[in-house]
């Protein structure tokens, strides 16, 4: 088991928006991210990320540690990724948070 579960983040090549690897592909909502609990699962996420990076779908692909909320949704542990899943803390009308993320 990993010390903390992980999810895979990236940026969409065409528009730069933050993406999360979900069950069937890249999602724009972090709550749909697929969660890795073991090193093997994390490696599997990374392999998909590398494949999609090579296929020019996404860039800047990396894993980040999360905790699971009561609803099972992943919540990043680091404040940098907390910012990325929402949007700028000084403009709540912008970014993913503007549409309820």
Please give the residue ranges that form the binding site for other proteins (CB under 8 A).
11, 13-18, 53, 55-56, 59-60, 77-80, 83-84, 87-91, 94-95
| Residue number, 38 or 92, with CB nearest to other proteins | 92
Q: Output the smallest distance, CB 57 to other proteins, in A.
A: 10
**CA-angle at 44, arms to 16 and 101, nearest 5°:** 40
Nearest-angstrom CA–CA distance, 87 and 82 = 9
Which tokens hold the place of 87?
Answer: 């949007």
Q: How far is the CB of 86 from other proteins (least distance, A)?
A: 9
Least distance from C-beta 84 to other proteins, angstroms? Answer: 6
Residue of 74, 72, 54, 71 whose CA lies nearest to 8 = 74
């Amino acid at each position: 088991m990993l010390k903390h579960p992980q999810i895979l983040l990236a940026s969409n090549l065409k528009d730069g928006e933050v993406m999360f690897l979900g069950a069937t592909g890249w999602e724009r909502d972090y709550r749909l991210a697929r969660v890795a609990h073991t090193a093997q699962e994390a490696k599997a996420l990374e392999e998909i990320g590398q494949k999609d990076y090579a296929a020019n779908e996404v860039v800047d692909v990396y894993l980040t540690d999360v905790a699971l909320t009561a609803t099972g949704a992943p919540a990043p542990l680091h404040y940098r990724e907390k910012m990325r899943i929402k949007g700028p803390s000084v403009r709540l009308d912008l970014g993913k948070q503007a549409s309820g993320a």
